[in-house]
């Protein structure tokens, strides 16, 4: 047993799926008086517990709507769990959706600083790493162009270059590897491999069982918000494959 990197402790996540969304006062008042204010509660995660040890690469498997992305967002701190809690030990780089925080009116240069600050980097750090980001993204001649004129591939490149500039201890990936052209994807995969070699802890969500098998050594399987299997990748992948047959 190595040291623990992420501990998910009895996490339950509830959403209110009211059939018609009551978001104005009049409707709320009417429904309140009539006593019709009931919500359809939906549990995206039901009492999920697991731990990830340092250096483990955990694949999160499950069918659509099983709660894969939800559990990643809970770990990243985007959602606060309705019950239970999550402990994280180490610097975390969430790469759930690249470029959250990009502003289309800003130029590439301005967005490096903006997105960098969203990820919690300091100005000095970004000054220092600026050239490296520029080089990796291969966007030197477009860096003073507003982002709205970028192609989606260019945005993805910039986002990836900024997000991976830190040396994280915990890396959260949500199918981000499927961006850009083949050449850039290879470059990304090389960079990822470099991080893996340094022993980074990875949490990875993907629909592609092949990708998960290549990348991960451990896995968990979610079904309708419940954790139904955890262990080595081969065992869990076998259960998942049997499920999808």
Closest to 81 in 3D by CA, of 94, 72, 90, 92: 72
Q: Which is nearer to another protein, 52 or 163 (CB)?
A: 163
* Helical (H) or strand (E) element with 197: helix 182-197
**Which of residues 89 and 113 has its CB atom nearest to another protein in the complex?**
113
Closest approach of another protein to the CB of residue 96, in Å: 6
* Nearest approach, Cβ of residue 44 and another protein (Å): 11
> Nearer to another protein by C-beta: 76 or 236?
76
Q: How near is the Cβ of 34 to another protein at its closest, in Å?
A: 18
Strands 4-16 and 83-88: antiparallel
User: Shortest Cβ distance from residue 54 to another protein (Å)?
Assistant: 21
Which residue, 172 or 233, is less far from another protein as judged by CB?
172
Which residues sit at the interface with another protein, rule CB under 8 A?
A: 15-16, 23-26, 28, 76-80, 85, 94, 96-97, 100-101, 103, 105-106, 110, 113-114, 117-123
Task: Find the shortest distance in angstroms from Cβ 197 to another protein.
Answer: 26
Q: State the Cα–Cα distance between residues 80 and 98, nearest whole angstrom.
A: 21
Q: Among 76, 93, 137, 91, which residue's Cα sits nearest to residue 111?
A: 137
Beta strand 226-232 pairing with 218-223? antiparallel
Report yes or no: 25 and 61 within 8 Å, Cβ to Cβ.
no
**Measured from the CB atom, is 16 or 49 closer to another protein?**
16
Query: What distance in Å separates the CA atoms of residue 236 and residue 224, rounded to the nearest whole number?
Result: 16
């Amino acid at each position: 047993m190595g040291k623990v990197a992420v501990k998910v402790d009895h996490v339950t996540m509830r959403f209110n799926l009211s059939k018609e969304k009551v978001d104005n006062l009049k409707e709320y008042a009417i429904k309140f008086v009539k006593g019709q204010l009931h919500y359809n509660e939906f549990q995206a995660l039901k009492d999920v517990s697991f731990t990830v040890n340092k250096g483990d690469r955990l694949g999160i498997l499950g069918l659509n709507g099983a709660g894969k992305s939800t559990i990643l967002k809970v770990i990243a701190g985007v959602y606060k769990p309705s019950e239970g809690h999550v402990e994280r030990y180490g610097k975390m780089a969430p790469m759930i959706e690249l470029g959250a925080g990009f502003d289309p009116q800003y130029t590439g240069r301005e967005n490096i600083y903006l997105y960098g600050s969203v990820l919690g980097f300091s100005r000095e750090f970004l000054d220092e790493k600026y050239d490296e980001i520029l080089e990796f993204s291969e966007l030197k001649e477009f860096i003073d162009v507003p982002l709205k004129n970028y192609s989606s591939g260019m945005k993805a490149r910039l986002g990836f270059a900024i997000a991976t500039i830190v040396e994280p201890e915990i890396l959260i990936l949500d199918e981000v590897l499927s961006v850009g052209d083949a050449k850039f994807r290879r470059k990304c995969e090389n960079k990822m491999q470099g991080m893996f070699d340094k022993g980074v802890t990875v949490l990875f969500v993907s629909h592609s069982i092949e990708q998960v098998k290549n990348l991960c050594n451990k896995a968990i399987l979610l079904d309708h918000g419940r954790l139904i299997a955890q262990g080595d990748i081969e065992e869990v992948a076998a259960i998942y494959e049997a499920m999808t047959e």
